[in-house]
Amino acid sequence: MKAEQVKSELKKMADRKRAAVSHRFFKTGPGEYGHGDLFLGVTVPDQRKIARKFTKLKYPEIEKLLLSSWHEHRLTGLLILIDQYEKADLADRKNIFNFYCRHLDSVNNWDLVDVSAPRIMGDYLINQERKILYKLAGSKNLWHRRISIVATLAFIRNHDFRDTLKITRMLLKDDQDLIHKAAGWMLREVGKRDLLTAKEFIDQYHSEMPRTMLRYSLERFSAEERKYYLKR
């Protein structure tokens, strides 16, 4: 199995009209967060189908996909890596985690982060030292910071909220809306499982939280509660 075969499969499903929509949707213009990203115009379900055909692709070939300028190459490479991780034993999961960490610069748009960070980085760190998340949270790289908070979704699903709350505090002054949305999303996920913990955090930090972060965090609250917090 070769990366070129994956690329060929993706090319067959390319759609120019869909690619044009993706370029606008993922903000690829000058000065925008996705500046320079390239799209073939392949749907995510189709990418998943292709990924399932290449689940035994070796690291050097996955690396070729991750280093590609084409968004669908990188996403399909990540989908293959996720599948390998979920089927792996602990030793192989460590290898996949390390491989993923070496290629974080290829995880460079919000959908790439959101599909992979919880399922590889977050899952692996459930029973491991988590210093890497704090290093990423302090990074100048927007996507590294998003990885740091979105990866904690794996912990939240285990009713472990500590790192989510600590990293959210680190990101309160972040100047990027994509970080505000991600942190608010994670707080909302905390609230689904432990509304009191989420409320305590919001009570303490609502005046410091960017408006978008606060709004996202309140989506599971009643209309009256949302109005109360947003007015304060």
Rounded CA-CA distance 140/132 in Å is 14
pLDDT, averaged across the chain:
96
Rounded CA-CA distance 139/145 in Å is 6
Q: What is the pLDDT of residues 132-174, one digit of tens each?
A: 999 999 999 999 999 999 999 999 999 999 999 999 999 999 9
Task: Report the interhelical angle of 59-66 vs 71-87 (nearest 10°).
Answer: 150
Rounded CA-CA distance 8/29 in Å is 27
Is residue 220 over pLDDT 90? Answer: no
Confidence of residue 122 (pLDDT cuts 50, 70, 90): very high
Q: What is the mean pLDDT of residues 197-226?
A: 93
Q: Do 33 and 178 form a contact (C-beta atoms < 8 A)?
A: yes
Confidence of residue 1 (pLDDT cuts 50, 70, 90): confident
Q: Global pTM?
A: 0.95
Percent above pLDDT 70 for the chain: 100
Q: What is the mean pLDDT of residues 10-15?
A: 97
Q: Is 94 helix (H, G, I), strand (E, B) or coil?
A: helix
Is residue 232 over pLDDT 80? Answer: no
Rounded CA-CA distance 202/198 in Å is 6
Q: What is the pLDDT of residues 44-71, one digit of tens each?
A: 999 999 999 999 999 999 999 999 999 9
Is residue 12 over pLDDT 90? Answer: yes
Percent above pLDDT 90 for the chain: 94
